[in-house]
Amino acid sequence: MSPGKQDDGRPVVPCVGAIVHDRAHRLLLIRRGREPSRGLWSVPGGRVEPGESLAEAVEREVLEETGLQVRAGREVGRVRIDAGAAVYDVVDLACALLHDDGVPRAGDDATEAVFADAATLAGLSCTPRLVETLGGWGVLPD
């Protein structure tokens, strides 16, 4: 996937996000260690590297940010995030854990990683519109 340009000339950066649930239907979340939204909670994800498919990118990002291995599945939804100098075009994919007993551990640009149930999620400071978007897609944790 290669970046494009908006009509106003700003770059459009292809990105992925991972929707990962464990057996208890808790949602995998990471605390962002870099901008945009540093310090806020979101789903694992990041930029698609040159030559990568969406599936390859999301599997790599989850492994780098949480230490967990997943298999990418269907597209769940898509959002565009205006970050001023660039626009991030994020495709969120449903991902299946390859090992159900894995415990997430933060790595790369994530400072924390957890499986969150609905009550835990309600107490976290999340990236803008994350909870509303995931709710609209029907993928919030139980």
Which three-class secondary structure string do you get for the chain?
CCCEECCCCCEEEEEEEEEEECCCCCEEEEEECCCCCCCCEECCEEECCCCCCHHHHHHHHHHHHHCCCEEEEEEEEEEEEECCCCEEEEEEEEEEECCCCCCCCCCCCEEEEEEECHHHHHCCCECCCHHHHHHHHCCCCC
The reply to whether 112 belongs to the active site is: yes
**Catalytic residue selected from 52, 56, 64, 112:** 112
Range of the domain at 90: 4-133
Q: Can you give the pTM of this predicted structure?
A: 0.91
Q: Is residue 140 in a domain?
A: no
Residue 141: inside a domain: no
Q: Could you tell me if residue 14 is inside a domain?
A: yes
Residue 127 falls inside a structural domain = yes
Residue 39 lies in a domain: yes
Query: How many domains does the chain fold into?
Result: 1
The CATH number for 28's domain is 3.90.79.10
pLDDT in tens, the chain (142 residues): 546 776 788 899 999 999 999 999 999 999 999 887 899 999 999 999 999 999 999 999 999 999 999 999 999 999 998 888 889 999 999 999 998 778 899 988 899 999 999 999 999 999 999 999 999 999 999 8
In a domain, 103, yes or no: yes
